[in-house]
Amino acid sequence: MIVLPTRLNELLDDVDDLRAATLALDFAEHAVELQADALDPRLLGAYAEYMGAAHEAIELGRATDRLVRANDACFEVGWEFPGHSEITGVAESAVRLGCQQMLIDVGAMNKAGRTIQTRQYIARQAQSDVGRWYAQQAPADGDRRQVDRAARWEEARWQLLHVIATEPNPHAPDAG
């Protein structure tokens, strides 16, 4: 029997830091997209740009002006929408995983606010956020815990399939 979270953790351990940061952003984007109806379009746009800028910065290996602007824009627009972090927190965590040091290096983030994120944490956070979201949308007379568990499992399945679809086999004879 394959236990999805366990196998996902194992696969995430096998990817390098660059790919882990990219996968974390993918996981966050998926979780935010599933909950998009709860976000104001301006906030949703700001976070989509933030994650896109983070993908670009990770590929380039350095902070870009786009990333700095997107970081500032998310901070600014976020003040207008209290409570959004319940949905967007996973995106902020994923960007920190891949871009925190870059943002510190260019002075766009304070070193004192540094947090340590892991790829597994981002995956679990996305699963939890999606589960909570679907449980909140469930009928009041239904079993919300069951809805939460089912949604978390489906999100873990999506993550696992995404890793399998995007990563080369690290154990193949010609890998590496």
Spatial separation of the C-alpha atoms in residues 68 and 18, rounded to whole Å: 19
Task: Judge whether 68 and 107 are in contact, CB under 8 Å.
Answer: no
- 176 is a domain residue: no
Question: What phi-psi label fits residue 19: left (phi over 0), alpha (psi between -120 and 50 degrees) or beta?
Answer: alpha
Spatial separation of the C-alpha atoms in residues 110 and 42, rounded to whole Å: 26
- 175 is a domain residue: no
In this prediction, residue 31 carries a pLDDT of 97
In this prediction, residue 93 carries a pLDDT of 96
58-99: pLDDT as tens digits: 999 999 999 999 999 999 999 999 888 889 999 999 999 999
Spatial separation of the C-alpha atoms in residues 91 and 85, rounded to whole Å: 9
Spatial separation of the C-alpha atoms in residues 8 and 26, rounded to whole Å: 14
Q: Which among 130, 126, 131, 65 has a CA at the least distance from the CA of 97?
A: 126
Res 57 pLDDT > 70? yes
129-166: pLDDT as tens digits: 999 999 999 998 889 999 999 999 999 999 999 999 99
Host domain of residue 135: 4-166
Through-space distance between the first and last CA atoms of the chain, rounded to whole angstroms? 29
**Number of domains within the chain:** 1
- 174 is a domain residue: no
In this prediction, residue 175 carries a pLDDT of 59
In this prediction, residue 130 carries a pLDDT of 96
DSSP alpha helix (H) spans, the chain = 4-14, 17-34, 41-60, 65-78, 85-105, 119-137, 144-166
